[in-house]
Amino acid sequence: MSAKAAARKRGKPASGAGAGAAAGKRRRKAVSAGDRGKSKGGTKMNEEISSDSESESLPPRRPEEEEEEELEETAQEKKLRLAKLYLEQLRQQEEEKAEARAFEEDQVAGRLKEDVLEQRGRLQKSVAKEIQAPASTDIRVLRGHQLSITCLVITPDDSAIFSAAKDCTIIKWSVESGRKLHVIPRAKKGAEGKSPGHSSHVLCMAISSDGKYLASGDRSKLILIWEAQSCQNLYTFTGHRDAVSGLAFRRGTHQLYSTSHDRSVKVWNVAENSYVETLFGHQDSVAALDALGRECCVTAGGRDGTVRVWKIPEESQLVFYGHQGSIDCIHLINEEHMVSGADDGSVALWGLSKKRPLALQREAHGMRGEPGLEQPFWISSVAALLNTDLVATGSHSSCVRLWQCGEGFRRLDLLCDIPLVGFINSLKFSSSGNFLVAGVGQEHRLGRWWRIKEARNSVCIIPLRRVPAPPAAGS
């Protein structure tokens, strides 16, 4: 074995060039190791002496890096976030449902309260102050009758008007277009029952609350029943011994009340085409009749000076006194209050619990005649918007007057005058309260005491626009 090999084997450095090369390698390794140590030491030193100012001087991080860090979430964190979001959505939905339930409960409570007040006859919605007086140019005039209009009714859906006149005809009008939808012509005298129609003055009409039946009464003592949609004659009721002057259906039923100049009140069942009973009590010709939902009706007794409430099941009556003249018209405001008009020029508000008027407006349409011989304008028609404080009256004073009923129906305050020339023989409010219909004639519906030549026999549709009431002071 050579000396070099033996030396390598023993781990001893070899002599000569080989030993020098090995020593150089070891020195380089040591230098590189020292450099690494210095580098590590420098880094450690930098970490120890780092300050805020140095950290601020570092370059800002890019938004993309921040978004990447925000997006980096574990599966558990994602589940937790989605669960919180779902719970928040459920909470919002429950809050919305609770608000909707509270709103519905308020509405239901309001409706129930109105129903209770309506049944008790104490409901009085305040709408009169919102009514704006219409201009004469806004009034629509429908002409088709040859003689004075005597009565009219409006269908429950406010789509059509039925008018009748002294020319013995009945016309069905479209409210929207003002056109004639149907005309029931005059029947020839002596042909009653053979051809549909009236052969004498039609004095009164009524329509059922479901709009199915129309009833009309005339001076020939007849009551004719019509199908309101087609104007087809269905039945003829006979039994009155004088002119039929008033008709009314009980709301929600097909029970019909009628009254006559024979001083009686009769009850009929239209759906069964049958007569029910007759009630007596008035001392003179009965001029008008009205009814609502209760099984009772009210009548204006004409010259006997009384208003009577007829309780049909008990076959009893309540008698009210207050007017000094002939009571020619009456209308129910609600189940407990009514308004009437007389030829002494007075308008009265009544409550069923008192035998005297709650309010009496004398000379409601003013006076006429020469000085010293003045007479009040007769009240020929009255109407009331159901369950509100709005009342309308008609005469031949060249205007229709709108009134507001005071609190508790103890006062009548004039709102405005609507110019209309002629006898206002009939007035009806629409169910919505958006318009008032007046039947105008040259003569009074019950006679020919005067004739106003400049008047036009027509049906007038008067729009009732509402203006929101001004807010209360300090609100």
CATH of the domain at 416: 2.130.10.10
Distance CA 243, CA 161 (A): 23
More confident residue, 152 or 41: 152
287 lies in some domain:
yes
Measured CA to CA in angstroms, residue 5 lies from 12, 23, 149, 284, 293 at distances of 10, 18, 148, 160, 134
- Confidence (pLDDT) at 10: 47
Please provide the DSSP assignment of 184-241 as one string: EPPPPTT-TTTSSS-SS-EEEEEE-TTS-EEEEEETTS-EEEEETTTTEEEEEE---S
74 lies in some domain:
no
Tell me the per-residue pLDDT of 99-147, one tens digit each, with 9 for 90 and over.
888 877 776 766 666 666 655 555 668 898 899 888 888 999 999 999 9
Over residues 79-98, the mean pLDDT reads 89
Over residues 458-474, the mean pLDDT reads 77
- Confidence (pLDDT) at 438: 97
Tracing tokens 């090369």 back to the chain, one arrives at 21
Q: Which domain holds residue 186?
A: 128-466
Distance CA 415, CA 270 (A): 39
Distance CA 343, CA 445 (A): 13
% pLDDT > 70, the chain: 79
3-class secondary structure per residue, 349-404: EEECCCCCCCEEECCCCCEECCCCCCEECCCCEEEECCCECEEEEECCCCEEEEEE
Check pLDDT > 60 for residue 195: yes
Contact 350/358 with Cβ under 8 angstroms?
Answer: yes
As a whole number, the mean pLDDT across the chain is: 84
What are the residues whose beta carbons fall under 8 Å from the beta carbon of 78, sequence distance 6 or more?
none
Distance CA 297, CA 166 (A): 26
Over residues 352-376, the mean pLDDT reads 91
76 lies in some domain:
no
Tell me the per-residue pLDDT of 224-272, one tens digit each, with 9 for 90 and over.
999 999 999 999 999 999 999 999 999 999 999 999 999 999 999 999 9
316 lies in some domain:
yes
More confident residue, 319 or 104: 319
Contact 294/282 with Cβ under 8 angstroms?
Answer: no
369 lies in some domain:
yes
Least confident window among 61-70, 75-84, 117-126, 167-176: 61-70
449 lies in some domain:
yes
- Confidence (pLDDT) at 19: 43
Distance CA 386, CA 125 (A): 9
Provide the sign of the torsion angle of the four alpha carbons 80, 81, 82, 85, taken in this order.
Answer: positive
236 lies in some domain:
yes
Distance CA 382, CA 361 (A): 13
Strand partners, 278: 266
- What is the tally of structural domains in the chain? 1
Check pLDDT > 50 for residue 43: no
6 lies in some domain:
no
3-state secondary structure of 27: helix
- Confidence (pLDDT) at 245: 95
Distance CA 9, CA 451 (A): 156
- Confidence (pLDDT) at 109: 67
Distance CA 11, CA 2 (A): 14
Check pLDDT > 70 for residue 6: no
Give residue 447's pLDDT band: very low, low, confident or very high (50, 70, 90): confident
